[in-house]
Chains A and B, each alone.
Chain A
Amino acid sequence: MAAITINLPLPVLPEGWSAEKDFKAISSLSPATQRNVEPVGPHFLAHARRKRHKRTFSEDERIQAQENVKKVEDDDAGEISEEEDPLMLQRDAKDWKGQDHYAVLGLSKYRYKATEDQIKRAHRKKVLRHHPDKKAASGKTEDDSFFKCIQKATETLLDPVKRRQWDSVDPGADLEPPSKKQVQKGNFYKLWGPVFESEGRFSKKQPVPKLGDEKSSKEAVEGFYDFWSYFDSWRTFEYEDEDVPDDNENRDQKRHVERKNANARRKKKTEDTARLRKLVEDAMGMDERLKRFKKQQYEEKNKKKIEREAAAAKAKEEEAKRKEEEAKLAKVREEQEKAQKADAKKAKEAAKNAAKKNKRVVRGAAKDANYFHEGGDASAAEIDSVLNDVDLVITKVDNEELADLTAKLNGKKGAGEIKAVFVDEVKRLVGAGKMKEGEAKNFS
């Protein structure tokens, strides 16, 4: 081939660029695609000659070479192999409007998603099986009604206008929206997702946004519902039109039917729009994300108010707590006081008892010492005077001194000893100034 001339200049060599022999290899070529060259034309023959001189491939590699070639021709086999409903096979071709075109071609799992290529291939496959000549060959009667159904289905699906009309009313592609009950069990996204996807096929705007899941951002969710609120649908109901009589018949009749059709279409379209609106509203009503966003937004707006309210609530709570604690404390104290009082009373009682007892002991001691009378019984006067003195001592001492006195008197048997104790006591009392010298005559 002649040299190409490129008029755009080459760049100037950057400064400091150098390499061995002025050449720098950087990388190798990308891997190549293996393809079949057509064995046609003078240039190929030259190529073949060149190539064949070097040929040393074994038979194995020959086969390998063919297998590796990138496939250009499609495989016709496979793909469309749906069971054929025997009822469908008996359909009358005259009733073609009522047939499910996708099911006839075995494309019911693709429906509106089927590509033109798929339809063509499915058609061909069905023709190969159901052509009347084939039936005749296998000895069956020449019944071509299903073949006509196939032709009608293909005609409808291969014409973009007619296909849209059919897709608009294709009952097999519609999905019932889930009920509230179903959604309450959870799985909002799984239940509603396919519904919106199926409705989305009518959108003039493509691609249709997806429902998403609970993690979707606020913008995405709002965008989604915005899209559906302003949904632009191409759905038409021409397919369900009554047949318009041929123009060579009654013209008035024709116009009448046309008007009727137009009205029916309009009505159905309005109904459809209303249906879709309701559907979207239902979905919005059940969408937890919207509620969450609403709450978030509300919170955002009233942040301060809420904070203040929260602070007030907290303060109130603290106050209540404090009061409660105080009350508790007061109660405890009260109880303590009560207990103390009771204790004091008891102690007093005890002291009183002890004093009584001590007095008895002291008086008893005087009695034990036979009222300090030596020999025989003491006279009443002596007894009286001794007892008076003892009582005097008792009245003069307080409880503790009395207890001491009692302790001293304990274990003393002899009259002299007991008297010495009393004498000491009187002396002490006199010393303390509580008694006058000689007041207790018996113990001086």
Chain B
Amino acid sequence: MSDEEESPGRVAIGISFGNSYSSIAFTTSEGKAEVIANEEGDRQIPTILSYVEGEEFQGTQAKAQLVRNSKNTVAYFRDFLGEDFKSVDPTPCHQSAHPKEHEGTVAFSIRDSEAESENTVTVSEITTRHLRRLKNSASDFLGKQVNAVVITVPTNFSDKQRAALKKAAEDAGLEVLQLIHEPVADVLAYDARPDAKHADKNVVVVDVGGTRSDVAVIASRGGMYTILATAHDYDVSGAQLDQVLIDYFAKEFLKKNKGVEDPRENPRSLAKLKLESEAVKKALSLGQSASFSVESLSGGIDFTATINRSRYELLASKHFQSLKRLVVHCVEKAELDVLDINEIICAGGNSHTPKLSRSLADEFPPTTTVFAPTLSPTAINPNELAARGAAIQASLVEAFDTDDIEQSTHPVVTSTPHLAHAIGVLSISGDEKGAGVFTLMIEPETPVPVRRTAHVAVPREGGDVLVKLCEGVREIKVTKPEAKPKTNGANEDEDDDDDDDDDDDDEEEIREKVWKAGRVLAEMAVRGTKKGSKVEVQVSVGAELDVQIIAREVNGKGGTRGMLDKPAIAQNGSV
């Protein structure tokens, strides 16, 4: 029945396809994105396939097979897709089927049938099987056959990898409507909330995944997203945090049981350690302490231990620091300052770790909103962000023809001039005389065409006013604190507190973001304004950087308007 109603007969979902976990999401009839649980009730489905006697297991069940059946279990294969063997890093696959070279691509030797012999299965075939399982889970949940998807990919996925993923999805019977970037999907998931405002903002998306971390700085301007810089790191990851716990528990175990083989030396013991450590890590995100318990860890000895959160944070602090550096590095790469960042979105399962998001928040000014489950009650589950974003995008493009989508996403459309400088008007601040203060109307890096309107107050007496339109330059003003502001009521506080405060004062400089007026674009007069009224200034920048300005009194008549020509031949990209 519904098949006939929907124009191309499409049922589209969003898939977030990660190295460690995948999720599927759909959009409800009210336009809300929901993440689908699979048959086992998991919303985060481990990206693992395992074969036992010809039977295929996926997700949590397959993950359990890492201990007993690691040779026939394929995990962490997403990044191998569409790559040749010499450029893949097999490190994450130490405890599962090892990748090997096969006809120019990557493949795994596994026993996926009832026969005793091993079969060579290419990574694209594995992906197809995995996507097919995801598709079936979604179809079962929705009661309709799913046939189209939007899949998220990392920003550094090459064209070849994209093509391979598309092919694998099509082999699984899914039409790929679009491949979208993970960080953008994350931002979209937040912006699609009904109460979200489309303010101009700079967003940092920090995605701490299982095998890699990705950071992206995104300029969000009126709902249009532009990636300004990205950073990828294969050393800071969930696996590293697990490793911290693995080492800790292995040492504890050896301390208690002398003369027993190190559980890290034995593949099966190590797999057990790893699984339990990951569970402990997750438990520590919720509770203050967690217990670790493995039967027959090594030499037939059971091991039980507890760990509290602060010890874990201490052990892993090195990695938190490293992530912090990565984020700051990425912001610098975008030629921005931490003060320019309005929002941080924490994505990826490891963002549940309280210390991780806290240490990030410390690096940024208090004005920056950090969306992480431990810091913001309104935060969306970081595991689900990408899938939700993909589902929203899927619902948006569902109705389009394939051709239409392709043309809309072509570089001709996506490549757009972005303003190099901010645009604003000069106004008078309360305490300063004469010198104007630059007041921002359009942020830099805004894609054109763009139109912005501002209501600006007039002087107290009204009368004729001057509207001066300028380009703005952002500067970071660093002020050293004045020599030790001695607190008057020092006795009120405890001595210890005072000392701490003083120390902070000594070291910290106050950094502020200031706008300075740069090139003057135009001057115009609005005459005879009434007392207490406002002037409406509307600036429209055309696709070729021609500017149209209208200034008039709110609810008034007439007003002034003018045009600025486009700049003399600015070669594309020659900035």
Q: Which residues of A contact B (CB under 8 A)?
A: 1, 3-14, 17-19, 21-45, 47-52, 54-55, 57, 61-62, 64-66, 68-70, 72-74, 116-117, 120, 123-124, 127-129, 131, 133-134, 136-137, 154, 158-160, 248
Contact = CB atoms under 8 A, between A and B. Distances in A.
Nearest to B392: A41
Given A9-B460, A57-B412, A131 B89 contact: yes
Contacts of A116: 325, 329
A36 B411 contact: yes
Interface stretch (B264-272, B478-486, B559-567): B559-567
Interface of B: 85-91, 93, 98-101, 155-156, 178, 180-181, 184-185, 188, 191, 198, 218, 222-230, 233-235, 255, 258, 318, 321-322, 325, 329, 389, 392-393, 396-397, 407-421, 423, 425-430, 436-437, 439, 441, 445, 447-449, 452-460, 463-468, 471, 519-527, 534-536, 541, 543, 545, 547, 549, 560-568, 570-575
A69 to B, nearest CB: 5
B419 A5 contact: no
Given A29-B564, A33-B418, A158-B322, A69 B413 contact: no
Contact of B521 (A26, A35, A38, A129): A26
A66 B396 CA distance: 25
Contact of B454 (A3, A39, A49): A3
A105 B181 CA distance: 31
Contacts of B223: 41-44
Given A6-B457, A40-B389, A131-B89, A65 B415 contact: yes
Given A4-B441, A29-B567, A69-B573, A38 B420 contact: no
A37 B562 contact: no
Contact of A9 (B222, B428, B561): B428
Kindly list the 3 A-B residue pairs having the minimum CB-CB distance in the complex, ordered from nearest: A43-B223, A23-B562, A32-B417
Contact of A72 (B230, B541, B549, B574): B230
A137 B442 CA distance: 56
A174 B1 CA distance: 79
Given A9-B459, A52-B407, A133-B100, A41 B393 contact: yes
17 contacts: A1-B198, A1-B222, A5-B455, A8-B428, A8-B429, A9-B427, A9-B460, A11-B466, A13-B466, A32-B420, A37-B414, A38-B218, A39-B409, A43-B222, A44-B224, A45-B408, A160-B321
A137 B185 CA distance: 37
Q: Residue among A8, A10, A41, A68 with the most chain B CB within 10 A?
A: A10
Given A8-B437, A25-B564, A72-B227, A62 B466 contact: no
B523 A28 contact: no
Q: State the main secondary structure of chain A at its contact with B.
A: mixed
B419 A32 contact: yes
Contacts of B549: 23
A10 B428 contact: yes
B412 A62 contact: yes
B427 A11 contact: yes
B228 A72 contact: yes
A6 B456 contact: yes
Contact of B226 (A17, A30, A36, A65): A36
Contacts of A49: 408
A72 B155 contact: yes
Nearest to A2: B453
B570 to A, nearest CB: 4
Contact of A21 (B156, B225, B426, B562): B562
Contacts of B235: 120, 123, 154, 158
Given A4-B452, A6-B455, A12-B464, A48 B408 contact: yes
Given A6-B439, A40-B180, A133 B90 contact: yes
A253 B150 CA distance: 63
A146 to B, nearest CB: 15
B227 A36 contact: yes
Given A6-B439, A8-B439, A68-B415, 15 more contacts: A1-B453, A11-B426, A13-B464, A25-B564, A26-B523, A34-B575, A37-B226, A38-B180, A39-B408, A52-B408, A61-B412, A72-B155, A133-B99, A158-B322, A159-B318
Contact of A30 (B420, B457, B562): B420
Contacts of A134: 85-86, 90
A40 B225 contact: yes
Nearest to B460: A9
A154 B236 CA distance: 12
Given A32-B418, A48-B413, A124-B89, A38 B227 contact: yes
Given A29-B547, A29-B567, A32-B418, A9 B458 contact: yes
A252 to B, nearest CB: 19
Contact of B527 (A13, A31, A160): A13
A6 B534 CA distance: 9
Contacts of A26: 520-523
B408 A31 contact: no
Contacts of B471: 29-30
B551 to A, nearest CB: 9
A391 to B, nearest CB: 130
A11 to B, nearest CB: 5
Contacts of B228: 35, 72
B456 A33 contact: no
Contact of B224 (A3, A41, A120, A123): A41
Contacts of B198: 1, 43
A65 B412 contact: yes
Contacts of B180: 38-40
Contacts of A44: 223-225
B289 to A, nearest CB: 23
B180 to A, nearest CB: 5
A241 B563 CA distance: 73
Given A29-B541, A131-B90, A12 B412 contact: no
A292 to B, nearest CB: 38
B284 to A, nearest CB: 23
B100 A12 contact: no
A11 B437 CA distance: 10
B464 A73 contact: no
B535 to A, nearest CB: 6
A123 B90 CA distance: 13
A300 B439 CA distance: 58
Nearest to B524: A23
Contacts of A66: 411, 415
A137 B224 contact: no
A69 B409 CA distance: 14
A59 to B, nearest CB: 10
Given A38-B227, A41-B188, A128 B412 contact: no
B196 to A, nearest CB: 11
B545 A32 contact: yes
A398 B93 CA distance: 148
B413 A52 contact: yes
Contacts of A12: 459, 463-466
Given A6-B439, A40-B185, A34 B418 contact: yes
Contacts of B523: 17, 19, 23-24, 26
A44 B225 CA distance: 8
B184 A38 contact: yes
A48 B410 CA distance: 10
Contacts of A24: 522-524, 562
Contacts of B426: 11
A116 B327 CA distance: 13
A60 B419 CA distance: 25
Contacts of A5: 454-455, 534
A117 B329 contact: yes
Contacts of B526: 10, 22
A27 B325 CA distance: 41
B234 A120 contact: yes
Nearest to B191: A41
Given A3-B453, A8-B457, A10-B466, A29 B234 contact: no
B418 A73 contact: no
Contacts of A136: 98, 100
